[in-house]
């Protein structure tokens, strides 16, 4: 159970810090990667300007995108792309508007926010981009599809896990990952007062459904996650419990969190 000091006469932030026996509050901030941290889909970045064969240009069947990208990466490997080529692509993907400012805010208040990343991209690309941006140390944990280079120098991709969720692709259910992470941290006696989820895609809607009324979903404005939240709010008022704060620039997320630090939680 997440607990808050409000109700016992103490502001949730700062005033309790430094008092005998008190400890700083902890919030969990969850990020997606593609079209959230970075301003485009990293898989699209990899194939941009490259002529794919017809069978790889066709949209994969629903739920099988990970397998599709395995075939795409194998083809690119056959065309001569190696680790340095892929790293250069990932490092040069632009951050989304305002994301650098949000990262600066989180760095300044790192003792208050535990930050994780859950993405259906791949570990190699994510690590390359975060390190190039100088923000890898902000993230306690990254959950993404395993990616490594084989003996040929080809970038290979695998599924993250298996699950039984009917809403998500076969290789990853972000709800399962988030639920298990919260349970693991609870066993370690880390209880979050609030969870914040920053995303954009349909696969971010599934985990955001686990958020409570104390939590906040930050869907990118006009993207699938935002549209799906709006739809459920219209069809089933009250079914989506978290507060919803759409954003066009991540500075809006930073501004919301900054205001949170100025008041009781």
Other beta carbons within 10 angstroms of residue 105's beta carbon come to 19
**Which of 195, 5, 36, 20 lies closest to 103, judged by CA?**
36
43 labeled binding residue: yes
Active site residue 34: yes
For the four alpha carbons of 67, 203, 147 and 53, in that order, the dihedral sign comes to: positive
**Phi-psi domain of 189 (left: phi exceeds 0; alpha: psi -120 through 50; beta: other):** left
Please tell me whether residue 240 adopts helix, strand or coil conformation.
coil
**Which of 36, 38, 247 lies closest to 130, judged by CA?**
38
Active site residue 32: yes
Extract the tokens encoding 46: 């990899």
Query: In angstroms, rounded to a whole number, what is the distance separating the alpha carbons of residues 50 and 52?
Result: 6
CA distances from 103 to 83, 138, 209, 253 (A): 27, 8, 25, 10
Please list the helix, strand and coil fractions of the chain in percent, rounded to the nearest 5, in that order.
40, 15, 50
85 labeled binding residue: no
C-alpha of 143 from chain center = 9
Query: In angstroms, rounded to a whole number, what is the distance separating the alpha carbons of residues 249 and 96?
Result: 7
CA distances from 147 to 61, 121, 160 (A): 22, 9, 10
39 labeled binding residue: no
Of the listed 34, 44, 150, 204, which one is catalytic? 34
Of the listed 32, 39, 150, 215, which one is catalytic? 32
Q: State the catalytic residues.
A: 32, 34
Going by the annotation, the residues of the binding site for substrate are 43, 120
Going by the annotation, the residues of the binding site for Mg(2+) are 32, 34, 200
Going by the annotation, the residues of the binding site are 32, 34, 43, 120, 200
């Amino acid at each position: 159970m997440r607990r808050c000091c409000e109700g016992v006469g103490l502001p949730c932030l700062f005033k309790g810090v430094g008092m005998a026996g008190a400890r700083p509050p902890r919030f969990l901030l969850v990020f997606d990667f593609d079209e959230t941290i970075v301003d485009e889909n990293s898989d699209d970045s990899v194939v941009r300007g490259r002529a794919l064969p017809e069978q790889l240009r066709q949209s994969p069947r629903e739920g099988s995108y990970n397998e599709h990208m395995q075939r795409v990466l194998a083809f690119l490997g056959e065309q001569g792309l190696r680790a340095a080529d892929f790293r250069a692509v990932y490092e040069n993907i632009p951050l989304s508007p305002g994301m650098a400012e949000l990262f600066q805010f989180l760095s300044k208040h790192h003792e208050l926010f535990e930050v994780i990343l859950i993405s259906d991209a791949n570990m190699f690309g994510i690590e390359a981009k975060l390190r190039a941006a100088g923000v890898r140390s902000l993230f306690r944990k990254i959950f993404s599809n395993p990616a490594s280079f084989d003996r040929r120098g080809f970038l290979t991709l695998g599924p993250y896990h298996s699950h039984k969720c009917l809403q998500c692709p076969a290789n990853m259910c972000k709800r399962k990952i988030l639920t298990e992470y919260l349970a693991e941290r609870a066993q370690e006696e880390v209880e979050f007062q609030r969870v914040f989820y920053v995303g954009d895609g349909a696969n971010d809607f599934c985990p955001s459904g686990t958020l409570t009324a104390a939590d906040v979903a930050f869907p990118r404005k006009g993207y699938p996650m935002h549209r799906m939240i709006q739809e459920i709010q219209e069809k089933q008022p009250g079914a989506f419990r978290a507060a919803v704060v759409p954003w066009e620039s991540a500075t809006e997320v930073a501004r919301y969190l900054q205001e949170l630090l100025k008041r009781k939680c």
